[in-house]
């Protein structure tokens, strides 16, 4: 058990990765249930992460990979995201290099159709800063569980 609060672990991690803008920090912080443990986790080559990626839409014709990932069994409700009008599909990613990311429990969020977030949360999720994106490569879509 860490001697630091979940919030402290998260804020220190974000600061070390150059994320100090208060609006960015608040948005990331809102994604985690800070009443539950949040910790830095070492990911090693060969591990697998999953992401619920937006499908193409008029508003977003070429959706990009995001910064939020989950573990096997990820569902929209478990990580508080909405399918949105275009929907989402589950994609598998392989870790190809050692890196440290933040892992914790997804916070329950009210529905926000503009950001396509909302739901009960409660699942494990991982935040990987863009600067570390090169350590994760896409494998492709998978069938949802």
Sign of the C-alpha dihedral computed for residues 117, 78, 16 and 91 taken in this order: negative
Digits of tens for pLDDT over the chain (145 positions)? 557 788 899 999 999 999 999 999 999 999 999 999 999 999 999 999 999 987 776 666 666 788 999 999 999 899 998 877 678 889 999 999 999 999 999 999 988 887 888 899 999 999 999 999 999 999 998 976 6
CB 72, CB 91: distance < 8 Å: no
Spatial distance between the Cα atoms of 100 and 41, rounded to a whole number of angstroms: 5
pLDDT for the residue numbered 31:
95
Residue appearing with tokens 């929209």: 76
pLDDT for the residue numbered 87:
80
């Amino acid at each position: 058990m860490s001697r630091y609060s979940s919030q402290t672990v998260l804020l220190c991690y974000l600061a070390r990765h150059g994320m100090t803008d208060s609006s960015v920090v608040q948005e990331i912080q809102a994604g985690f249930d800070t009443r539950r443990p949040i910790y830095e986790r070492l990911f090693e080559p060969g591990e697998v992460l999953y992401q619920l990626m937006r499908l193409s839409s008029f508003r977003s014709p070429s959706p990009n990979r995001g910064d939020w990932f989950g573990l096997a069994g990820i569902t929209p409700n478990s990580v508080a995201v909405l399918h949105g009008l275009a929907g989402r599909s589950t994609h598998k990613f392989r870790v190809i290099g050692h890196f440290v990311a933040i892992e914790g429990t997804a916070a329950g969020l009210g529905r926000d159709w503009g950001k396509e977030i909302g739901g009960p949360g409660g699942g494990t999720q991982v935040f990987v800063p863009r600067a570390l994106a090169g350590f994760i490569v896409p494998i492709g879509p998978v069938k949802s569980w």
